[in-house]
């Protein structure tokens, strides 16, 4: 049975290599950074047509006038059992045309082009997993997709992103976020939350020689706050607070009347995030130098992808399927960079991230994906879905 399934899924993927590569090339050449609504439209229309051709019922969900629609779809909604979700984003980070027209190319087994790795390849993999399952005749559970258009901008102009992802994930058995795969084959089982925390202090500017006593230094007040904020770092818990940018003062002979600070915070759990943000607010609300006034604002750019119950079991199932089928033994990793897997686990759905094409250097000119990993990962994830009846937690 096992051997027959293995041969069926491998035959399907192997006989569609050129088709997979052609689609990957086409969608990379269409580009589409988060703000390029016209470019993104071409990408999402192409993906929608492809998933529909695979039998899915698809829908485009409007996200306001600064964000392109999200693509969602279901196959086999009348099937028994909980659905399996494939998620990801179809936007890229680099400005259109940076590499000229048709930027997709292959050199020495490395595919290059904007978003080739992060993460157009992952969406192509999800499509061919679904097609392979159809070809094998597997119909045990519904299959779902949810691909967003603004992950690279951390959903900056779209306050419906989180709730939409959580709603689409709600009730699913498990999810595979088809993000950038790790070059060493590691699968991501957790990611930090990211918070941007900004502080501004107004003091009293005065001449440093003639009128020193009238001054109230915004920089001196900020320095005390910087030390206290950074002391909130707790490496054991994976919580970091980095006061990364500071601007203040005008000339050396004036008491500085204004100072601004930009802080980056990362957390492995939502509980640590809440606790630390509350502590940071308390630091800002305390005044050391009378006559200074502090204001602050913060934004949760992305919540934590927590290793909730079921994540490790899903990883173990993936690792054992990979070993059984001869695709190697993937390791596991918790990453500091953010992804939308956060919202899927917030909906209580065990999720693996970094399931897409393997490669390196995303967000840079040197981004590449390993061409062979397009086929390998499609085979692996098809095998994992075929074995989901063993997924228990």
For 293, residues 6+ apart whose C-beta sits below 8 A from its C-beta are 201, 202, 203, 287
Rounded Cα distance between 273 and 269, Å, is 6
Instruction: CB nearer to Zn ion: give 88 or 248.
Output: 88
| Binding to Zn ion in span 355-374, by CB under 5 A | none
**Whole-number minimum distance, CB 126 to Zn ion, in Å?**
14
Burial of 236 per CB tally in 10 Å (0-12, 13-18, 19+): exposed
Between CA 334 and CA 343, with CA 337 as vertex, the angle to 5 degrees is 80
**Whole-number minimum distance, CB 391 to Zn ion, in Å?**
25
**Whole-number minimum distance, CB 232 to Zn ion, in Å?**
28
The one segment of 53-61, 119-127, 207-215, 374-382 that binds Zn ion by CB under 5 A: 119-127
Rounded Cα distance between 236 and 46, Å, is 45
Instruction: CB nearer to Zn ion: give 118 or 376.
Output: 118
Inter-axis angle of helices 2-14 and 17-29, to 10 degrees? 50
340 touches Zn ion (CB under 5 A)? no
**Beta carbons of 264 and 196 less than 8 angstroms apart:** yes
**Whole-number minimum distance, CB 207 to Zn ion, in Å?**
52
Instruction: Work out which of 35, 36, 69, 118 binds Zn ion, going by CB under 5 A.
Output: 118
Instruction: CB nearer to Zn ion: give 179 or 306.
Output: 179
311 touches Zn ion (CB under 5 A)? no
Instruction: CB nearer to Zn ion: give 168 or 340.
Output: 340
The one segment of 117-125, 137-145, 185-193, 234-242 that binds Zn ion by CB under 5 A: 117-125
119 touches Zn ion (CB under 5 A)? yes
Rounded Cα distance between 86 and 382, Å, is 12
**Whole-number minimum distance, CB 89 to Zn ion, in Å?**
6
DSSP 304-334: -B---TTHHHHHHHHHHHHHHTTS----EEE
Output the CA torsion 355→357→359→364 (10° steps). -100
Whole-Å CA distances, 120 to 88, 286, 392: 9, 47, 31
Instruction: CB nearer to Zn ion: give 256 or 359.
Output: 359
Output the CA torsion 147→151→154→158 (10° steps). -40
**Whole-number minimum distance, CB 119 to Zn ion, in Å?**
5
The one segment of 113-121, 129-137, 213-221, 341-349 that binds Zn ion by CB under 5 A: 113-121
**Whole-number minimum distance, CB 379 to Zn ion, in Å?**
22
Instruction: CB nearer to Zn ion: give 175 or 317.
Output: 175
| Binding to Zn ion in span 164-183, by CB under 5 A | 179
* Residue with the shortest CB distance to Zn ion: 118
**Whole-number minimum distance, CB 38 to Zn ion, in Å?**
21
Structure-block tokens of residue 6: 């293995």
Instruction: CB nearer to Zn ion: give 180 or 307.
Output: 180
| Binding to Zn ion in span 61-80, by CB under 5 A | none
For 330, residues 6+ apart whose C-beta sits below 8 A from its C-beta are 185, 186, 187, 318, 319, 322
Residues at the interface with Zn ion (CB under 5 A): 118-119, 179
């Amino acid at each position: 049975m096992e051997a027959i399934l293995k041969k069926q899924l491998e035959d399907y993927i192997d006989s569609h290599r050129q088709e997979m590569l052609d689609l990957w090339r086409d969608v990379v050449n269409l580009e589409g950074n988060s703000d390029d609504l016209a470019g993104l439209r071409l990408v999402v229309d192409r993906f929608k047509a492809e998933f529909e051709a695979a039998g899915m019922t698809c829908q485009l969900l409007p996200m306001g006038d600064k964000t392109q629609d999200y693509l969602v779809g279901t196959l086999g909604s009348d099937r028994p059992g909980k659905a399996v979700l494939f998620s990801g984003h179809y936007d890229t980070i680099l400005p259109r045309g940076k590499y000229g027209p048709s930027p997709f190319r292959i050199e020495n087994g490395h595919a290059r082009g904007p978003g080739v790795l992060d993460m157009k390849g992952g969406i192509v993999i999800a499509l061919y997993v679904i097609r392979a399952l159809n070809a094998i005749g597997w119909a045990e559970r519904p299959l779902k997709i949810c691909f967003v258009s603004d992950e690279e901008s951390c959903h900056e102009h779209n306050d419906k992103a989180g709730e939409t992802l959580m709603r689409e994930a709600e009730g699913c058995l498990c999810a595979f976020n088809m993000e950038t795969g790790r070059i060493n084959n590691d699968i991501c089982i957790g990611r930090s939350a990211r918070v941007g925390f900004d502080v501004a202090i107004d003091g009293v500017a005065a001449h440093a020689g003639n009128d020193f006593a009238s001054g109230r230094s915004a920089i001196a007040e900020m320095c005390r706050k910087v030390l206290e904020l950074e002391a909130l770092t707790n490496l054991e818990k994976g919580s970091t607070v980095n006061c990364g940018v500071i601007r203040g003062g005008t000339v050396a002979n004036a008491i500085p009347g204004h100072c601004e600070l930009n802080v980056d915070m990362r957390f492995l759990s939502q509980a640590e995030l809440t606790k630390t943000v509350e502590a940071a607010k308390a630091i800002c609300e305390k005044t050391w130098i009378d006559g200074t006034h502090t204001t602050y604002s913060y934004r949760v750019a992305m919540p934590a992808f927590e290793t909730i119950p079921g994540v490790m079991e899903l990883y173990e199932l993936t690792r054992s399927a990979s070993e059984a089928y001869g695709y190697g033994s993937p390791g596991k990793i918790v990453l500091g960079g953010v992804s939308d897997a956060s919202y899927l686990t917030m909906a209580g759905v065990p999720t693996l991230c970094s399931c897409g094409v393997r490669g390196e250097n995303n967000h840079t000119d040197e981004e590449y994906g390993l061409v062979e990993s397009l086929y390998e990962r499609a085979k692996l994830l098809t095998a994992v879905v075929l074995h989901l009846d063993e997924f228990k937690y």
